[in-house]
Structure 1
């Protein structure tokens, strides 16, 4: 039976939507906090990149981005493209170091191709976010390319068609709130900046350019920090003398969840780390994770102790070493609600905000010590923006806003220090004459009792009761649909691909199902490879008691224990069941084992 409290919430949500239709108002929905992200990394792997990115540092940069990611519900996907999708890994949830290693191994396996069509990569990135984006996470697309198209005209490719597809993909990304950060690779001086700049500007991302490939890890660090409202903190740059060189590391407060120390060097470095008490911390260990690559060494300090740490670095003589840090905080900035009231020019609106973690105010004087608070005022009538400093009370920020004119304003508070910044959700203050007397910040004012007694509106009450019954029925239906769409999976699938012409068999790929909700298509598990497109209609659904339901709406033939099954209406798969899926577009078969 559906719990009454749950039903009430669904009735309320549906009623709010109904009210919005009837009155023209729009209910406010919470936006993502941005503490976690769903990131799609897109890289041009055409032959031209052999010169634009001679040492494949784009791969190193993407791996560094993966290493910086926290193991806390973040998702990462990867696309490599030419004039088609060469390889693809759909969004997977990063729950362990092994998940990160799987993604980095996939990046290392990317190969070059002949032609280039930038619209292909951007279009597919939007599709991947559409298919797997968690609304609680902040979406992001990172595109690494030289901006040049080299189309296969013999196969019908044209610049006009590519431009049209790109415009459509960028428009879709903008409408869905998918910012695209573009990195122009210019090692050979052939960078085409215009399309990359336009893509970033249109989607509220940011454009970067580098003619030196070894700067890519630093750029990826800045993108990572910018998207999560963090700041890259420069620690030290020096030329190694071949001896141990000491680098001070400061953990400013107890609210730091992680500190990512990135050491950029083209040669391997030796590192040691000492806590504030002078005790050496083993590397790697539970509190300190170690990642190495051809272009960087990264230390991830997990919930580090506040205080002054010491990092010892020993590099190759005369090798340049750059060290940066990014702190990761589980903090949000919330503005206190403003009491609903009639507002006019000259009125003063009190402003208060504080940092919160897990819904609770953070009481940490050390955290507020170096922070600066600013009230950002956007005049929606005159299209002007101004800023006013706020007072740091040691436990929050306070100030006031005196309404200068009968206009509509949007107020937002920003708090920042040297390592991160946060912004509140905007508050709309409407003092415009167009709003009419009685307009308030939160609700319609009570106009008081009417001196002329009116009859009780029985017809309106009866109509409201009928509407409520309809809303309740709709809520019950919506709840059943929501539960079905968000039901979780158990176990994993082991997938092997057999070439029926040669008999060659791939190594088993193990796909964890707990990253998906409601349903998952076999095509997603096959990394959306174009040759397996027909498996887009082979669908897995969560069943009862840790089982799977498989539906086949494709032309593929599915066998179990040598018998062809009719799965158009769905068949149950139990623990250790094995099925064979024979494709029709290519002479290959996919073997799937269900493991719980």
Structure 2
């Protein structure tokens, strides 16, 4: 054990050492590379029957799901009143089938009395606290239509305490909350929604009509991934096909998302820049539709003007938005030093990158506005100065103002996207020591690329070793406590005596079928798996199709659900008419 611990310490030290020599080469994640972990938390109180008669909020959430990447994003759903009515753990999207599963879950949501905003925020934060996938950016979309309406015995003070704690957790964890207020009856607590969004780094949206919700959800999706919504000319339908030109400005567009909002379903046709009509759907074109929207996702579209034909119900108003998802990063060339003196001139150079290669598209540079954002870390004041865009690079310089610490990054923006490089830290607090003549930018870039390649290879080897050790440790992690098991036969009403199953004999994981001594009647419970959770909790994953409940509420556990001490869960089996009750005791 001591030897293994020493190896881990040595590997960690080496990782740090390898990271230290190359602190200046950064690349901001491009939208096409960025994956999201999103929780859609929606108010399903009875008042929504009046403020959202046609359940447009459900359609808006489904549109958000359709806008997500074809694979890789994770999306969960929380439906709340003054309690969590239903919950869908974040599902990793691997294709159209997963999106349909999420949308089907939304269609099955039911309404209930009372409203407590704190419940919707708190549960959504807990879902993301239980685990955000590495490299994914988290967010919460919170939708409500009014003030709290608490049942007898609940107090506004307690609700406010829970809400404040949840907002603080989201802020500490870097989870922005985008709030949407549906103010149909004028009773919306705008100030509270504004506070929630501002404190967590999100944004508030308020609308008096549910018809605006799909447009708002698409703006949230774009805003969170640093994309821009491009409105296309809308029109009033005449019952025939009407043309709309969709321009794909460069070959660096990874996805073009065309959302069509209308009161009724529409028919669509699409032709590429050569004039050839494209089959919808196809391998390169994903098509989704509902009663409130249609969405066309073109993967790696050819540059040029595409012709979209839309046929809507006569006199329906058709709104069309376009979101480009670019495969772009901004990468700064390493600076010659990280230590300067006040008054020194510092040269800055950056490139647009796509798929690890420099972008060879002068048009992208020509149409983009580039600037240097310099933040004084002592005064917290940021200044922005223009940079020059050349045919294949972005260049400029700045003078170090004072003997302070600074952070700089390059920002590139055009009508369709916004990208920023990762920040680079420099210091002017100590006089720069004499040094050899500075390398040229090409020499510096080449040297760092070589070092990065060697360092990357070593990092891969070390990461593999660490992953193997982590896997071994996880696979052999022990359990604490015991599960109290009772089984009720729904046909006869008979119930078994409580059986106390101690868990310390298991390592890494076990399934419920093992706990039930592999009884043939309960074979389906082999797909209900328990693993050690954080602290002394359990984590249950349910892929059996059996229905699981806690506190009288159904919950989803395909992606895992934390079970705490004294929690009691009920499992209704599919293949036999029996119910298993489990209570976790430490």
TM-score range, shorter chain: 0.7 to 0.9
> How far did 1:254 drift?
1.3
The separation in 2 between residues aligned to 1:322 and 1:388, in whole angstroms, is 37
CA displacement 1:536-577 (0-9 Å, x = unmatched): 999999xxxxxxxxxx9988899x9x9xxxxxxxxxxxxxxx
Q: In structure 2, what is the equivalent of residue 406 of structure 1?
A: 403
Structure 1 counterpart of 2:68: 69
Q: Which moved more, 1:382-391 or 1:60-69?
A: 382-391
- Match of 1:161, SS state, is helix
Name the SS for the 1:253 alignment partner. coil
Q: Matches of 1:245 and 1:535 in 2, distance apart?
A: 45
Q: Against the structure 1 CA distance between its residues 104 and 134, is the aligned structure 2 distance closer, same or farther, given a 3 Å change threshold? A: same
Higher relative contact order (CA 8 A, sep 6+): 2
CA distance in 1, matches of 2:188, 2:257: 31
CA distance 1:397–1:210, change in 2 (3 Å): same
Q: 1:249 to 1:535 in 2, by over 3 A?
A: closer
SS at match of 1:583: strand
1:124 positional shift:
1.2
Query: What is the CA-CA distance between 1:133 and the residue it aligns to?
Result: 1.1
1:530 equivalent in alignment to 2:527: no
Q: Matched residues in 2 for 1:356 and 1:362: separation?
A: 5
Contact 2:30 2:419 in 1 (8 A): no
1:160 corresponding residue in structure 2: 157
Q: Tell me if structure 2 keeps the 8 A contact 1:283–1:290.
A: yes
How far residue 345 of structure 1 moved from its aligned partner, in angstroms, is: 0.9
Per-residue deviation, 1:359:
2.6
Query: What are the within-5 Å matches in structure 2 for residues 482-493 of structure 1?
Result: 482-484=470-472
In structure 1, the residue matched to 2:238 is: 241
Conserved? CA contact 1:534–1:554, under 8 Å:
no
Count of aligned pairs between the two proteins? 498
Measure the CA separation in 2 of the matches of 1:540 and 1:85. 17
Q: Structure 1 residue 227 and structure 2 residue 224: aligned?
A: yes
User: Residues 396, 503 of structure 1: CA spacing in aligned structure 2 closer, same or farther, 3 A cutoff?
Assistant: farther
Q: Which residue of 2 aligns with 1:169?
A: 166
CA contact (8 A) 2:338 2:427 kept: no
Residue in 1 that maps onto 2:419: 422
> Does residue 260 in structure 1 map to residue 257 in structure 2?
yes
Moved more, 144-153 or 342-351: 144-153
Query: Is contact 2:59-2:290 (8 Å) kept?
Result: yes
Correspondences of 1:521-560 after superposition (within 5 Å): 521-522=540-541, 529-531=549-551
Separation in 2 of the partners of 1:37 and 1:556? 30
1:139 and 1:499, CA in 2 relative to 1: closer, same or farther beyond 3 A?
farther
Q: 2:49 matched to which residue of 1? A: 50
CA offsets per residue over residues 207-245 of structure 1, 9 Å max, x none?
A: 011111111111111100011111111111111222221
Retained in 2: the 8 A contact 1:89–1:527?
no
How many angstroms does 1:523 deviate by? 6.5
Counterpart CA distance in 1 for 2:294 and 2:492 is 42
Matched-pair contact (CA < 8 Å) for 1:75–1:93? yes
Counterpart of 2:123 in structure 1 is 124
Whole-angstrom CA distance in 2 between matches of 1:237 and 1:132: 41
Rounded Cα–Cα distance in structure 2 between residues aligned with 1:557 and 1:55: 34
Change (3 A) 1:176 1:310: same
Gap regions ≥5 residues in structure 2? 437-461, 476-486, 494-523
| Higher mean C-alpha displacement, 521-530 vs 103-112 | 521-530
2:340 is the counterpart of 1:343: yes
Could you tell me the TM-score, scaled by structure 2's length?
A: 0.75
Quickly say closer, same or farther: Cα 1:109–1:241, change in 2 above 3 A.
same
Aligned position for 2:200: 203
Shift of 1:358: 3.1
Structure 1 match to 2:580: 582
CA offset at residue 532 of structure 1? 7.4
Give the 3-state SS of the residue equivalent to 1:88 in structure 2.
strand
Q: Is the 8 A contact 2:264 2:291 kept in 1?
A: yes
Render the CA deviation track for 1:291-336: whole Å, top value 9, x for unaligned: 1111111111111111111011121221111111111122221212
Pair 323,345 (structure 1): closer, same or farther in 2 beyond 3 Å: same
**TM-score, with structure 1 as normaliser:** 0.74
Q: 1:305 aligns with which of 302, 306, 314?
A: 302
Q: Residues 528 and 368 of structure 1: is their aligned pair in 2 closer, same or farther, counting only changes over 3 Å?
A: farther
Partners in 1 of 2:361 and 2:8 — Cα distance? 35
For 1:329 and 1:404, how far apart are their aligned partners in 2?
35
What corresponds to 1:110 in structure 2? 109
Judge conservation of contact 1:523–1:533 (CA < 8 Å) in 2: no
Distance in 1 separating the partners of 2:304 and 2:528: 39
Contact 2:142 2:179 in 1 (8 A): yes
1:183 matched to 2:180: yes
CA contact (8 A) 1:91 1:132 kept: no
Contact 2:551-2:569 at 8 Å conserved across structures: no
In 2, the alpha carbon distance for the partners of 1:195 and 1:226 equals 21
- The DSSP-based 3-state class of the residue aligned with 1:522 is strand
| Distance in 2 between residues matched to 1:347 and 1:539, nearest whole Å | 53
Gaps of 5+ in 1: 447-473, 488-497, 542-551, 563-577, 586-596
Residues 111 and 368 (structure 1), Cα distance of their counterparts in 2 relative to 1, 3 Å cut: same
How much does 1:31 deviate?
Answer: 8.1
TM-fit CA distance, 1:150: 1.1
RMSD value over aligned CA atoms?
4.2
